[in-house]
Amino acid sequence: MSKLLMFLSVFLLFSAPASAQHQHTNHGTTTTEPGAAAKYFTDVELVDQDGKKVRFYSDVLKGKTVVVNAFFTTCTSVCPPMNRNMEKIQEALGDRVGKDVFFVSLTVDPTVDTPARLKEYAKKFHAGPGWMFLTGKKENLDWALYKLGQYVENKDDHKTIFIIGNEPTGLWKKAFGMANVAELLQIVESVVNDKGEATKTK
Amino acid sequence: MNIRILVLFSAFLLLSGVAAYAQLANRGLTAGERRGKAIYLRGESASGKEIKAMIGDLDVPASTVTCAGCHGLRGEGKTEGGVTAGNLQWANMLKPYGHTHPNGRKHGPFDEKLFALSLVHGTDPSGNQLAVAMPRYQISPEDLADLVAYLKRIETDRDPGLTEETITIGTILPKTGPLAEIGTAMKDVLTAYFANVNDKGGIYNRRIELKTIDAGADAAATAANVKTQIENGEMFAIVSGLTAGAEKELAAVTQSAEIPFMGPVTLLPQTSAQEYRTLFYLLPGTSQQARALLKFAANKPELKKSRLAIVHSDKELALAAVAAIEDQARKNGWTSVTKKAFSSERFDATAIAGALKAEGAEAVFFLGASGEEAAFINAAAAASWTPHVFLLGAFTSRGLVNTVPLSFKDHVFLAFPTVPNDVTPAGLAELRALQEKYKLPSGHIASQLNAFAAAKIFTEGLKRAGRDLSREKLVTALEGLYEYDTGVTPSITFGPNRRVGAMGAYVLSIDPAKREFVSSGWVNNN
């Protein structure tokens, strides 16, 4: 566990957006009206593995619990084991994926990673309907990655960190993408089950 | 010691070292090294048994987490995602003072036993745990011995056909049959082009040596001949070739051997960069040309929301174009598209024209054999019907320009992959100089130009790839070509997802009064 702790840091990325939201809440329940999170992430246009255009905030994050990572399809070293881990989590969560929690993999190499390539890659990892692979215009993708703390200058520098966030409550955690699946699952569950306590204004 | 002697002595040592390196680099791999290479690159054991890898508690075949994946094709090591995979070249592993890693981990030198421990148990020579991302492998002693044999050799291992002094390449041309003469013309140009490169010092001190592979009687023979050459002979890449009919077979052969193939002449390029990473084409095939033609049609205001008909024969070339036209029509938002197939034995121009007129077709893509398009246009004229007719230059007769009725002015459009104006004065001068220097005959100029362009782009790729050449580096260098001017073709652009250099087509219309072509310019597919 100590190894995991080294890599894992629980943090409140969006305490400001969350508190902004909580000013409109009643008895601890949360609202999903477009607030500071929408402003923070913005709605840049991205493209999924089916070639469908999606908006980063409205279509990908809004109202959802997400597990996000950054990768590229021609990566031969850390991406395959990292996405294999994602696949294992998908397997463990079964049909809750696409309902309680969504997976989002963003490419750091959009010029090479066309939707067709992403689709092929998704197949390799048996990605179900709740797992979205995103590409798009480089500047849009860079912006989305930047907002997630995953922007890198060189694709080989991409991170192996999963960002796990509950958009409605504003609780966001980070975990090492190649950690033990059971430990990763615990973290994902803790974010899925968050009731907004962690981010409540004191 | 006398300083001069010392200098001489160290120079001698250096030179003998260089010579030994060159000798090693030029030697082929031993059987054990070759087996080790298969393990290193693909995680495949010669025994046929699966090598298992464990990442954390994840248990996967070694073929999904190969050594080369993280440590590089040459064992040089690399950093990705904050994970540094070390340099595995044996000389580096054996450094007597050991290693200090960026994260502070320190250990002494490896030997074969310590290497085995690191691979199987995930510990370094000082007993420290390796990074989490490094899998532990369940590997047999035989496989381990092969792998070590290869790691001792990896630094000086080169791709096939590559030595310190030479780059051996092949070209695929018919030696007999109706196309033999064209084959000879192309071979002469290629031979001359590379002789000229060698004359000027070669590429980074390597001479290019060209072998000709016989295209054989049919597609199966072509594929078999190429396969044999790849397996027996040392061949770094294939440049140019007359390989029509064997497109799919050759794509499969070159893909499995991962051998670069630059510029085969064909109307049916296999363009999936994902599948056929090493396969590069210069000019658009029928389907790319058909797409360009449709994009051109879609931009004509008078054809907005018009009824589009595709009339086609049952030949493979025509069918490839039909699929492309349908797909592109969908992308361009064309809603009314009909298809009409005919077999060449029972082609009846009057009946087809009559039926399409009755349907109210306004734009007709006609994909038949040479001569049929003229019959169709004249049948339409006889029925006093004047649709816009779109044709692929490759399927039409030379005499078409003389037979188009006056009423079809600005109504007949053809796509061509290249036009005479692509040959610039500079490009022509370059070819002429070659022809003169090497006494080349001047016949079959179009094929000569094609071979010339392929040789030129290949040479440019080699220059950009650098002295530390590999097939991988050549492919990456070629992917970087952007609007490269060959002087004899449209400009050539490749990319990670692009394998056709000139992606689009020229569209020309026919002026029936003057009996000449009028250019509407180049239409880009992207």
**Spatial distance between the Cα atoms of B225 and B237, rounded to a whole number of angstroms:** 15
| DSSP codes, B469-500 | --HHHHHHHHHT--SB--SSSS-B--BTTB-B
- Kindly list the domain boundaries of chain A, sorted by start residue: 2-23+34-192
Taking only the tens place, the pLDDT of each residue in B333-350 is: 898 999 999 988 889 999
The pLDDT value given to residue B82? 78
CB contact under 8 A, A77 and B64: no
CB contact under 8 A, A160 and B81: yes
Q: Pick from A140, A138, A179: which is nearest to A155 by CA?
A: A138
CATH superfamily of B287-416+506-524: Response regulator (3.40.50.2300)
**pLDDT tens-digit profile, chain A (202 residues):** 444 433 443 443 443 333 333 333 333 344 445 577 888 998 999 999 999 999 999 999 999 999 999 999 998 888 988 999 999 999 999 999 999 999 999 999 999 999 999 999 999 999 999 999 999 999 999 999 999 999 988 888 888 899 999 999 999 999 999 888 999 999 999 999 998 876 665 4
CB contact under 8 A, A157 and B81: yes
Residue A114: CB atoms within 10 A of its CB come to: 20
Residue among B69, B133, B495 whose CB faces A178 most closely = B133
The pLDDT value given to residue A26? 35
Provide, as residue numbers in chain B, all residues whose Cβ is less than 8 Å from the Cβ of A81: 55, 58, 60, 65, 133, 135
Provide, as residue numbers in chain A, all residues whose Cβ is less than 8 Å from the Cβ of B83: 77-78, 160
CB contact under 8 A, A77 and B70: yes
Comparing B6-20, B32-46, B220-234, B512-526, the range with the smallest average pLDDT is B6-20
CB contact under 8 A, A179 and B80: no
Q: What is the ipTM of this complex?
A: 0.70
CATH 3.40.50.2300 range(s) for chain B read 166-283+424-495, 287-416+506-524
The pLDDT value given to residue B436? 94
Alpha carbon of B70: minimum distance to chain A alpha carbons (Å): 4
Class of domain A2-23+34-192: alpha beta
pTM recorded for the entire structure: 0.82
Q: Pick from B343, B334, B384, B383: which is nearest to B363 by CA?
A: B334
Inform me whether the C-beta atom of residue B14 falls under 8 Å from chain A C-beta atoms.
Answer: no
Measured between alpha carbons, how far is residue A81 from residues A71, A132, A141 in Å?
11, 18, 23
Q: Give the CATH architecture of domain B166-283+424-495.
A: 3-Layer(aba) Sandwich (3.40)
Residue among B80, B495, B497 whose CB faces A77 most closely = B80
**8-state DSSP, B313:** -
Provide, as residue numbers in chain B, all residues whose Cβ is less than 8 Å from the Cβ of A76: 66, 68-70
Alpha carbon of A29: minimum distance to chain B alpha carbons (Å): 38
Inform me whether the C-beta atom of residue B130 falls under 8 Å from chain A C-beta atoms.
Answer: no
3-state SS string for B46-102: CCCCECEEEECCEEEEHHHCCHHHHHCCCCCCEEECCEEECCCCHHHHCCCCCEECC
Burial B132-146 (b: 16+ CB within 10 A, else e): bbbbbbebeeebbbb
